């Protein structure tokens, strides 16, 4: 028996509560200003075709002069990393003293249908890496790849290992032949050639239908019912609308790049087989010899853990860390737990591997035997090493060189 029928008082209170929220919600929804995203200040430093490279204005102190370049996915927009001021991985990383660059891939249109994975990885990403290297004077930079951007980062690191000091991947798929993810299952029966030949570019709306189908009731029904419960709270409504904007702000996918990504990776799983070729060069994951921090989300329904975890066994790095974040694919950036845990973990891991010169100062590159350290880069602001006070920067040890004694895999347990 239903409680509402048994207890009229309860029923009336429920009814009154719903009505009150509806009225208040209507007022909020009709007066809410346009939601703003990407609140953290940044400057445009490089452009190429539709790509834009931004540099976040760093804090007063840099914990490590080696900059970090964030390579986001082609699917959806990179501002998920900086959705709002109190839910911003970028802001948190800046607060930890990192120097951050981020790639905005833009919105491909029909003119981009012939852009390939080689273009994205070997041209655009490579140009960004070179630009940051040149701008900062660092021969090797840190690369952080997110989701599909993580796969790109892994491929890039295998092809250009000499340019990357540390590799960080977040919810990045590498092994695509898992049945844990519906996208992995469905993609096996898709006629990708027909799709690309017909549409040229794959519309974001088309992709979104697939994403919504992954959790149909939760994403298409319950999410909105849940909003009803908080419709009288302006902050919650604004957060909801902001997230809604991000979800449906979906760029199209350049046809040829999509074709190779789906056929070579999702269908043929060539990356783990060491059969993938980019621009005629085979991508050998064993050539990834720099330190690796591989972060996956335990509840990820888009990139299941089984797709990310094997990376650590496939790369040639001796210094590799597997980090398990208890949450989902989006929660890893916006959850309150993420705000407390993720940025400190990433920055700590990077700072621990930040090279230190002979004089004890942090430098871009580790000094080679018999040589002096690379010239100290000239950041816009002083680095932690040059400041008298170093409140945020942890004390540096000697430059981390992948040592045999380093634990091969330090797996963090959920909640740990």
Partner 1 sequence: MQDNAAPWESMWKTWQDMQMDMYKSWMSAWFRAAAGDSKVEEDTSDKAWTDALGFYRQWLGYLQEMMDRFGMPSEGVGPDTFMRMFQTADVYSQLYAMWMKMYENYRKVVGEGGEYDFAAMSEMLESWADEYREIVDKIFIPALPSQLQWIAELYSGDIPLMAGGLLMHLGAPWYDYFRRMTERGLSLERPSPEAAVEMYEGWRQAYEESYGRLLRAPVMGYYREAAEKLSHTMDSLNEFNIILAEFYASLQSAGVKGFEKLQERMAAMQDEGSKEPISFRELYRLWWQTNEDIYIELFRTEEFSRLLGQLVDKGMQFRADFKAYVEEATKELPFPNRSEMDHLYKTVDRLKREVRSLKKEMGKLEPAAGGKEK
Among 31, 225, 389, 398, the residue binding partner 1 under the rule CB under 8 A is 225
Stretch that binds partner 1, among 108-116, 265-273, 326-334, 395-403 (CB under 8 A): 108-116
Tell me if 279 contacts partner 1 by CB under 8 A. Answer: no
Among 91, 113, 242, 400, the residue binding partner 1 under the rule CB under 8 A is 113
Q: CA angle, corner 264, sides to 323 and 175, nearest 5?
A: 25
Half-sphere exposure of 196 (CA within 13 A, CB side): 20
Whether the CB-CB separation of 81 and 72 falls below 8 Å is answered with yes
Tell me if 248 contacts partner 1 by CB under 8 A. Answer: no
Tell me if 226 contacts partner 1 by CB under 8 A. Answer: no
Stretch that binds partner 1, among 197-205, 309-317, 345-353, 397-405 (CB under 8 A): 197-205
Among 19, 218, 336, 372, the residue binding partner 1 under the rule CB under 8 A is 218
> Comparing C-alpha atoms, which of 198, 113, 181, 126 is closest to residue 159?
126
67 Cβ contact partners less than 8 Å away, ≥ 6 residues apart: 98, 99, 100, 101, 132, 136, 138, 141, 142
Tell me if 189 contacts partner 1 by CB under 8 A. Answer: yes
**Smallest gap from residue 1 Cβ to partner 1 (A):** 5
Which residue lies nearer to partner 1 by CB, 214 or 399? 214
> Comparing C-alpha atoms, which of 254, 218, 203 is closest to residue 330?
218
Tell me if 13 contacts partner 1 by CB under 8 A. Answer: no
Which residue lies nearer to partner 1 by CB, 224 or 248? 224
Tell me if 306 contacts partner 1 by CB under 8 A. Answer: no
Tell me if 217 contacts partner 1 by CB under 8 A. Answer: yes
**Smallest gap from residue 398 Cβ to partner 1 (A):** 35
Q: Give the span between the Cα atoms of 159 and 163, in whole angstroms.
A: 10
Cβ neighbours of 368 (radius 10 Å): 9
As annotated, the active-site residues are 147
DSSP states of 153-199: HHHHHHH-GGGEEEEEEES-------SSSHHHHHHTT--HHHHHHHH
Beta strands in 49-140 (DSSP E): 51-56, 68-71, 82-84, 87-88, 100-104
Tell me if 31 contacts partner 1 by CB under 8 A. Answer: no
3 state DSSP class of 208: helix
Which residue lies nearer to partner 1 by CB, 29 or 221? 221
Tell me if 190 contacts partner 1 by CB under 8 A. Answer: yes
Tell me if 198 contacts partner 1 by CB under 8 A. Answer: yes
Stretch that binds partner 1, among 138-146, 215-223, 369-377, 388-396 (CB under 8 A): 215-223
**Smallest gap from residue 298 Cβ to partner 1 (A):** 17
Q: b/e string for 6-35 if b means 16 or more Cβ within 10 A?
A: eeeeeeeeeeeeeeebeeebeebeeeeeeb
Under the rule (CB under 8 A), what is the footprint of partner 1? 1-7, 10, 14, 49, 110-111, 113-115, 123, 179, 182, 185-186, 188-191, 194-195, 197-200, 213-218, 221-222, 225
């Amino acid at each position: 028996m239903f409680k509402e029928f048994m207890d009229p008082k309860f029923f009336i209170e429920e009814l009154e509560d719903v009505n009150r929220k509806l009225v208040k919600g209507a007022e909020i929804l009709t007066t809410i200003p346009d939601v703003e995203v990407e609140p953290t200040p940044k400057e445009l430093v490089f452009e190429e075709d539709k790509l834009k490279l931004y540099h976040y204005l760093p804090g007063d102190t840099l914990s490590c002069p080696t900059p970090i370049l964030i390579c986001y996915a082609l699917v959806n927009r990179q501002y998920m990393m900086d959705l709002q001021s109190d839910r911003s991985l970028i802001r948190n990383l800046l607060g930890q003293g990192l120097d951050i660059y981020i790639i905005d891939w833009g919105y491909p249109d029909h003119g981009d249908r012939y852009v390939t994975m080689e273009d994205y990885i070997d041209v655009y990403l490579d140009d960004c890496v070179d630009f940051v290297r040149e701008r900062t004077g660092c021969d090797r930079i840190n690369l952080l790849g997110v989701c599909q951007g993580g796969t790109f980062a892994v491929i890039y690191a295998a092809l250009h290992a000499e340019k990357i000091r540390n590799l960080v991947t977040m919810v990045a798929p590498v092994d695509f032949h898992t049945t844990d993810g519906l996208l992995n299952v469905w993609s096996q029966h898709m006629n990708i050639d027909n799709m690309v030949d017909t549409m040229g570019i794959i519309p974001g709306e088309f992709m979104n239908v697939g994403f919504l189908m992954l959790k149909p009731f939760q994403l298409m029904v319950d999410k909105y019912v849940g909003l009803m419960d908080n419709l009288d709270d302006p902050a919650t409504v604004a957060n909801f609308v902001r997230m809604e904007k991000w979800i449906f702000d979906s760029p199209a996918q350049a046809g040829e790049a999509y074709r190779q990504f789906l056929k070579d990776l999702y269908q043929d799983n060539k990356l783990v087989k060491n059969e993938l070729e980019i621009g005629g060069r085979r991508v050998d994951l064993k050539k990834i010899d720099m330190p690796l921090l591989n972060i996956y989300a335990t509840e990820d329904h888009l990139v299941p853990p089984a797709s990310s975890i094997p990376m650590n066994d496939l790369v040639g790095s001796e210094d590799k860390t597997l980090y398990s974040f208890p949450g989902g694919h989006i929660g890893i950036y916006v959850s309150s737990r993420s705000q407390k845990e993720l940025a400190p973990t990433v920055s700590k891991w990077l700072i621990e591997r930040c090279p230190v010169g002979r004089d004890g100062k942090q430098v871009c590159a580790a000094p080679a035997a018999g040589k002096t350290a690379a010239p100290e880069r000239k950041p816009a602001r002083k680095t932690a090493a040059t400041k008298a006070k170093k409140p945020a920067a942890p004390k540096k040890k000697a430059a981390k060189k992948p040592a045999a004694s380093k634990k091969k895999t330090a797996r963090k347990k959920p909640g740990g």
